[in-house]
Chains A and B, each alone.
Chain A
């Protein structure tokens, strides 16, 4: 599927072109096509304001998809995204109520809650050997239960702190949205982690074959556990950003992010079986999905048509380049 597996690459193809993953190239190509189609519809589509606004909206999905990307590289999946996102947003909003200290610690507290839920996932998967699809589902249900009790029993504060609003909606240098800068920092950190650290190499190794990685002396269980903790933290961080963007946290705020985050990672050419994929592809997938949603809503397509087109586009793109090798 990816270029790494091409046998005897022809020497006539320039080395730069050979290194480009066809999946990532296709995803970026489709982004350009989407923009062109959009610009036929309205000239606003190519304006810097619109593009920056799209990137700002994309950055929430981008932060969440970063965690999903790492987990999928391991060959696992994190279905606890919806309520970990909600937990992150709601807990940091709730912490805001406790004076200056609460205001200052709101974001770290929300993150810590997400990391804690991620650790629960990670321990279940790495040490108890429960399939990730099941344990993350269970964690999701527990997080939902906790948040329902929290909301109904304690009637907590749900409005975001000023710091949360600042990182989600503010602008700093050159009019760049802060949310986009945050995504760039998170993404840069992820790329560094995956390509320049031992941890990152281990993630790819485990995704290819955990057994082989274990026999090579890798503490695979610890790596898996920390990867899930990281994913939980990033989901919660996405929730904090979303709460800041909407200036309040709500229970169902994470529901719309599970499937798009998986779709973004897979559309970017990352194998759902793990071990193969680049963060650049995930970036392309996130932008693609955000643009698609935006164009469909600008065209005032009813929700029904939006869902249908959304599904057809994902299926069609995957059929284009996401197919597995024929088993023979």
Chain B
């Protein structure tokens, strides 16, 4: 097999997600009552980028064969924090942004430390820490509220349009991919994370530092979730500690990761795929509006699409030659 075939096989999930997203988005855009304008694209981009950031966070943990049920809560917590401290002059705003990102890193690091040194399963660990993070969010913002001194200039710069009608949020997302994901993927730690997710025992035997790989994955996941929380604050100007919103973002992030071709068993997939997965999920949700259907049917439609999508994944069963391979 030649080199490009390996590359194609590695990125197949991402490419399929990209293709599905493009088809859906063209259907969406061409049927939108307002037409395929820059404003329509910008609104869709802002919503998509929010979920894409949380889905990227989930991807990092899922690659190590873990799962992070607290990403939605970190997202909510950093949203509440950002609404309180990203205020005032450029200097205080910059400090506030750094504080928000540091909070996300801290949350992710705590998850990682408990999973690594506490040796608890990721799923139960993040259920527990998620409750704590949500509690802190609720303590910061008992009621949804904003800060009068909130730096709305910065917020608008990130959620508006650049000259030429390109949504600024997409450029910001691209920057996040280039600054966080690409270096991670190409570094030794990133490679270790994939090795840990594929076969932890084999990775251990090969001298991979399992602890370092997991710690970096969980910590970066916290950072990405906090960028998402910051971005939500840029859109809403306020912070809201909503249990439903945190839970939904966690569940949607898992759905996006799956749609983006990342295997929940670990070791396969890319954060770029998860981004397109998130865009697919958002576009599906919006598709109903452009066809003038009753909004009542939106959750059902979204659910059925998700259901069909996950069932399509089982076509691989036709490739199974030995029935024993069904049982992992």
Contacts and interface: CB of A to CB of B under 8 A. Distances in A.
A302 B303 contact: no
Given A124-B311, A314-B131, A315-B128, A324 B121 contact: yes
A128 B326 CA distance: 9
B314 interface: yes
Interface string A192-230: 000000000000000000110011000010000000000
Given A220-B327, A327-B200, A128 B135 contact: no
Interface stretch (B46-54, B165-173, B292-300): B292-300
Given A129-B317, A144-B303, A308-B131, A77 B121 contact: no
Contact of B264 (A128, A133, A259, A319): A133
A152 B297 CA distance: 9
Interface string A289-328: 0000000000000111111111110110011001111110
Interface string B130-167: 11111111110010000000000000000000000000
Contacts of B120: 315, 318-319, 322-324
A273 interface: yes
Contacts of A305: 135, 139
A263 interface: yes
A130 interface: yes
B311 A323 contact: no
A138 B306 contact: yes
Contact of B300 (A135, A142, A315): A142
A138 B303 contact: yes
A148 B299 contact: yes
Interface string A113-131: 0000000000010001111
A272 interface: yes
Nearest to A318: B120
Contacts of B121: 272-273, 324
A323 B118 contact: yes
Contacts of A77: 123
A23 to B, nearest CB: 13
Nearest to B320: A129
A285 to B, nearest CB: 12
B297 A141 contact: no
Contacts of B298: 145
Contacts of A324: 119-121
Contacts of B300: 142, 144-146, 148-149
Contact of B307 (A138, A263, A311): A138
Contacts of B254: 133-134, 137
Contacts of A309: 135
B102 interface: no
Interface string B285-328: 00000000000111111111011011101100100000010111
B80 to A, nearest CB: 11
B129 A210 contact: no
B36 interface: no
A276 B202 CA distance: 25
B127 A259 contact: yes
A124 B309 CA distance: 12
Which of A220, A314, A327 has the most CB atoms of chain B within a 10 A radius of its CB?
A: A314
Contact of B134 (A138, A153, A272, A307): A307
Which of A128, A130, A139, A311 has the most CB atoms of chain B within a 10 A radius of its CB?
A: A311
A142 B307 contact: yes
Which of A129, A210, A324 has the most CB atoms of chain B within a 10 A radius of its CB?
A: A129
Contacts of A143: 303
A148 B296 contact: yes
A250 B244 CA distance: 15
6 contacts: A145-B299, A259-B131, A273-B121, A311-B131, A315-B128, A322-B124
Given A259-B127, A311-B135, 15 more contacts: A137-B254, A137-B255, A141-B306, A142-B300, A211-B328, A214-B324, A214-B327, A255-B243, A307-B135, A307-B138, A308-B132, A311-B129, A311-B131, A314-B128, A327-B201
Interface of B: 67, 114, 118-121, 123-125, 127-139, 142, 200-201, 204, 241, 243-244, 247, 251, 254-255, 258, 264-265, 296-304, 306-307, 309-311, 313-314, 317, 324, 326-328
